Structure 1
Amino acid sequence: MEPGAPGGAAPSSDAGTAGRTPQDPSDPSPPTKSTPMAEPWRVPGVGNRLHQLIPETSRQVLAVYGDGEDSPDSTIVLYEKDEDDAWKKAGRWRGHNGREGWTVDHHEGDLRTPVGVFTLSDAGGVLDDPGTLLPYDQGKSYEVPKAWGEAHRHDFDYVIAVDYNRVRGTPPNDPTRPNGDEKGGGIWLHLDHGDGTSACVTLPEAGMEYLLRTLDPDQYPVVVMGNREVLKA
């Protein structure tokens, strides 16, 4: 939630998959079969520079593929390792990132989302815990200011903290920024409202619910995020 991080969403009407086609990018259900990857050990679209930052212990990777360096639009894909240590797609959604796109040197107020690999450790929101294994902090403190308007009312119904310039093991809205306020912070995964954010990454409500019920601390989940060109470098 970087302060004023409108990037959440009015909730979608259905958290399931009824009525959706298999090609629907908001469909959170795992695919039945896919074409085998040439390098199944590699997260698709992620080059050596970032891939080597993914912990060996991680068996869940959320990849955020930004459409362009200056674009607020992105595709979010959850990958999980199977019994052969191959990455398999477990969910895919369209969403948004910073209004001005992406940066490798994020600063407060630049309206860009930081590129990198970050752990996912803590969750919370306005609504009750939907059944997540992550530590979950529920309360009215996540309600958005009324000045943001009705379009953003549900932004923080569910949030997952991206461990960028924050203290792991604390609620997502803990304001502590170990690397200083100028480096920004409060960067979350949260509900999408249809356009860019101050720095957060957003998904439809069904996607957030799916992630909350699927991400497992014992699998050491991380997010790998950036625009497609920088991700594959």
Structure 2
Amino acid sequence: MNFLNRLFLATVLFFGINLQAQSNRTTIKNALLIAAHNKSKLDNCKQLLVVYNYQPESYTAFFVALEKKDTLWVVKQEPVKVGIGKNGFAPPLEKKEGDGKSPTGIFHLGKLYSYEKQLNTLLDNQQTTVDDKWIDDPDSEDYNTHVKGATTAKSYENLLLKNDAYKYCMVIEYNTNPIIKGKGSAIFFHLAIKKPSFTAGCVAIDEENMRSIVSWLDLKQNPSIIMGNLDDLENGL
């Protein structure tokens, strides 16, 4: 390779790195603004996952993990892109069963289901088996809850799949208290098994980052997730 070619490649690499760094700074700035604009609803939360996009119908979003140090939010790890509902984010309070959209709002991060017997995590967790199901039938009395064993529900999610999507499957506590029939169910934070990766309404991330998040989150820190379109989240929920 001659000098001019090496110079060209070095220049491309330099500008590529700087553009990525600038993009990360913007992503982090937006995440911190989202946390600040929703401060009153996050007072008891010390670990926060921020998931947002610019276009409500886009099935990709930016993901930033924040932790509270004293009264300030700081970044836990570099931002990444994640998959969300194939039809993007539903407007606040408008999520419906089967719409292919991820809900907008602030939600507690609940139980972690995993294919692994032992995990390095401080979350409430359990190993999944073929008997573990999550009911998504709006007519079932068990709608949007975990069931182990037989069920009369007409439809449900198996939590032990033939692929790794639910290898780490954390409950996003949307529509859980109270449960409203038809407002959406089985909203999880789980693994993305391909790129680009859209979901039926969940948030999907690569395994390396998921493992890092799982080992960091602590039930005692009231871990939560705030998710939605940037315009909705910046205005405060």
Moved over 4 A (4+): 21-25
Assess, with a 3 A threshold, how the Cα gap between structure 1 residues 48 and 133 changes in structure 2: closer, same or farther.
closer
Higher normalized contact order (CA 8 Å, seq sep 6+, divided by chain length):
1
Query: Which whole-Å deviations, capped at 9, do the CAs of 1:143-180 have from their partners, x for residues lacking one?
Result: 22x5xxxxxx110000111011226xxxxxxxxxx423
The aligned amino acid for 2:216 is T
Distance in 1 separating the partners of 2:19 and 2:117: 31
- Rounded Cα–Cα distance in structure 2 between residues aligned with 1:112 and 1:231: 16
The CA distance in 2 between the partners of 1:100 and 1:129, in whole Å, is: 35
- In 2, the alpha carbon distance for the partners of 1:165 and 1:230 equals 19
| Distance (whole Å) between structure 2 residues aligned to residue 24 and residue 161 of structure 1 | 31
In structure 1, the residue corresponding to 2:209 is in which secondary structure? helix
Summarize the alignment of residues 26-37 of structure 1 with structure 2, pairs less than 5 Å apart: none
Q: Indicate conservation of the 8 Å contact 1:129/1:136, yes or no.
A: no
Report 1:69-218 matches (<5 A): 69-82=56-69, 84-91=70-77, 92-103=79-90, 104=92, 105-140=94-129, 141=132, 142-144=159-161, 153-166=163-176, 178-193=178-193, 194=195, 195-218=197-220
SS of equivalent to 1:52:
helix
**Aligned mates of 2:186, 2:232 — CA distance in 1:** 23
2:5 maps to which residue? none
Tell me, which stretches of 5 or more residues in structure 1 are unaligned?
A: 1-20, 26-30, 147-152, 168-177
What is the CA-CA distance between 1:23 and the residue it aligns to?
8.6
Across the two proteins, how many residue pairs are aligned to each other? 183
Secondary structure (helix, strand or coil) at the match of 1:110 reads: coil
Aligned sequence identity (%)? 26
CA displacement 1:194-233 (0-9 Å, x = unmatched): 2211100011101111111101111111101101121112
The structure carrying a bigger helix percent of its residues is: 2
Whole-angstrom distance in 2 between the partners of 1:166 and 1:188: 12
TM-score by length of 1: 0.70
Q: Does structure 1 conserve the Cα–Cα contact (< 8 Å) formed by 2:56 and 2:229? A: yes
1:126 Cα deviation from its structure 2 partner: 1.8
| Letter aligned with residue 143 of structure 1 | L
Q: Give the CA RMSD over aligned residues.
A: 2.8
In 1, distance between residues paired with 2:123 and 2:54?
29
On the 8 A contact 2:124/2:219 being kept in 1, the answer is no
Among 61, 74, 81, the alignment partner of 2:48 is: 61
Identify unmatched segments of 5+ residues in structure 2: 1-16, 133-158
1:150 corresponds to which residue?
none
Judging changes above 3 Å, is the alpha-carbon distance between structure 1 residues 166 and 137 closer, same or farther for their aligned structure 2 residues?
A: farther
Q: Check conservation: 2:52, 2:63, Cα contact below 8 A.
A: yes
- Change in 2 beyond 3 A, CA 1:22/1:132: farther
Mark the CA change 1:85 to 1:112 in structure 2 (over 3 Å): closer, same or farther: same
Shift of the 217–137 alpha-carbon distance from structure 1 to 2, 3 Å rule, reads same
SS of aligned partner of 1:230: helix
Q: Would the aligned equivalents of 1:67 and 1:75 in 2 still touch at CA under 8 Å?
A: no
Residue 99 of structure 1, CA deviation: 0.5
Q: 2 CA distance for matches of 1:22 and 1:133?
A: 36
Aligned to 2:95, what secondary structure does the other structure show?
coil
2:9 paired residue number: none
